[in-house]
């Protein structure tokens, strides 16, 4: 694969991907502020809403992982409109013009958060059989969720109009320090760091047209289905919140 642009490279998900896939791709990186350390590839610093910044970052790239956004679940409308919606549209527009073949878009569980609000806390329990598989319409639970659902629709338009491959990853709860030992929300929607990296790696390599998949580990209790991620991307998660012991079990 040719160069891959990672936007939002300095965020939590971006650092997780780069920590584990630094040598796997020819990275091009977009940061909002000057990075510390030694990034694993050429980088641009600037605002995702600025077309010239995005154009400079995406030049020559074959694929994009688009993470740049205001990630706060309580972010006000002014911020999610500016950073998440007005920051996603020009990325698609410039990427298509530059010949990018696919975009992996960081969506969120909050794009369907109202389904959870309707059924909590029962859906956190093993006895509950409720499962979202990506075919149900978006039901955002907050304004951040509205912005992520809108980003999925932007990708749908650019796929239909221009033929670019799009994978929307509805990311769950990426965290190294839990899941908690009980059956509540954090355990049900947990995504381990190495499963996060693998999922994005598979999304860059698999053949697909337009997909919506859920980004969680292979947890015993879950209310998001990972079957589409398995079928469309070849995702094979290695971790399970019920078996987490605080360490990544990696064979040397």
Residues annotated as part of the active site: 144
Q: Cis before residue 121, ω within 30 degrees of 0?
A: yes
Among candidate residues 211, 119, 197, the one with its CA nearest the CA of residue 169: 211
Tokens linked to 35: 């990075």
CA dihedral 188, 192, 195, 201 (to 10 degrees): 120
Q: Which helix (H) or strand (E) holds 57?
A: helix 51-58
CA distance 157 to 140: 19
C-alpha of 44 from chain center: 21
């Amino acid at each position: 694969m040719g160069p891959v642009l990672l936007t939002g490279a300095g965020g939590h998900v971006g650092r997780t991907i780069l920590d584990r896939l630094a040598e796997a791709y020819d990275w091009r990186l977009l940061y909002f502020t000057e990075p510390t350390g030694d990034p694993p590839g050429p980088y641009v610093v600037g605002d995702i809403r600025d077309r010239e910044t995005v154009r400079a970052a995406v030049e020559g790239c074959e694929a994009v992982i688009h993470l740049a956004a205001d990630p706060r679940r309580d972010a006000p409308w002014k911020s999610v409109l500016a950073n998440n919606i007005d920051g996603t549209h020009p990325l698609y527009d410039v990427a298509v013009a530059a010949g990018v073949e696919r975009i992996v878009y960081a969506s969120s569980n909050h794009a369907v958060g109202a389904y959870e609000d309707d059924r909590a806390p029962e859906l956190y329990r093993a006895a509950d059989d409720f499962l979202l598989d990506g075919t149900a319409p978006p039901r955002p639970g907050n304004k951040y969720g509205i912005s992520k659902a809108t980003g999925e629709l932007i990708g749908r338009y650019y796929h239909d109009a221009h033929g670019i491959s799009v994978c929307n990853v509805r990311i769950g709860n990426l965290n190294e320090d839990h899941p908690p030992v009980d059956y509540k929300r954090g355990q049900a929607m947990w995504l381990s760091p190495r499963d996060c990296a693998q999922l994005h790696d598979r999304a860059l390599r698999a053949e697909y047209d337009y997909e919506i998949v859920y980004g969680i580990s292979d947890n015993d209790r879950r209310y998001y289905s990972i079957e589409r991620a398995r079928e469309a991307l070849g995702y094979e998660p290695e971790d399970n919140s019920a078996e987490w012991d605080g360490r990544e079990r990696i064979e040397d």
